[in-house]
């Protein structure tokens, strides 16, 4: 497996990994070993970052698109994420609100569809 793919699956930022990891393809066995028994560098990277954009978005409670709209284009460390959450700039507050609205709407649609399916099933008997 290519280092980029391995980093993505491990949830880490590839440029922050050791050179050996960046330049060496992994076998499935080596990847499984990294996942099951992460070395210290991997544990530290997961703890302090820098984190890839999907992880930054998850920790901030926004979408990756929301990060881009907020001007966050690079990987952030855990301390930088914490500072953003404490500062709570307007864009971050707005993006968190937007994501909550989208999730509420998705839940409403899911419940509506379940009700319709139950109604159709009851009528079909």
**What is the rounded average pLDDT of the residues 84-101?**
95
The string of pLDDT tens digits covering residues 67-84 is 999 999 889 999 999 999
> How far is the C-alpha of 121 from the C-alpha of 14, rounded, in Å?
50
70 neighbors 92 (Cβ within 8 angstroms): yes
pLDDT bracket for residue 53 (50, 70, 90): very high
> How far is the C-alpha of 50 from the C-alpha of 63, rounded, in Å?
18
> How far is the C-alpha of 49 from the C-alpha of 73, rounded, in Å?
15
pTM exceeding 0.95: no
pLDDT bracket for residue 65 (50, 70, 90): very high
> Over 90: is that where the pLDDT of 59 sits?
yes
> Over 70: is that where the pLDDT of 125 sits?
no
Across the chain, mean pLDDT equals 92
> Over 80: is that where the pLDDT of 124 sits?
no
Q: Percentage of the chain with pLDDT > 70?
A: 99
> How far is the C-alpha of 115 from the C-alpha of 50, rounded, in Å?
44
pLDDT of 49: 86
């Amino acid at each position: 497996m290519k280092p980029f793919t391995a980093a993505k699956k491990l949830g880490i930022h590839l440029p922050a990994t050791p050179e050996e990891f960046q330049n060496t393809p992994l076998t499935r066995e080596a990847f499984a070993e990294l996942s099951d028994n992460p070395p210290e560098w991997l544990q530290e990277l997961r703890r302090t970052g820098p984190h890839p954009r999907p992880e930054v978005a998850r920790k901030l409670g926004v979408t990756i698109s929301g990060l881009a709209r907020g001007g966050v284009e690079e990987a952030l460390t855990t301390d930088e994420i914490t500072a953003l959450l404490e500062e709570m700039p307007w864009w971050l507050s707005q993006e968190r609100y937007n994501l909550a609205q989208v999730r509420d709407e998705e839940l409403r649609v899911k419940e509506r569809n379940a009700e319709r399916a139950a109604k159709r099933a009851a009528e079909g008997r």
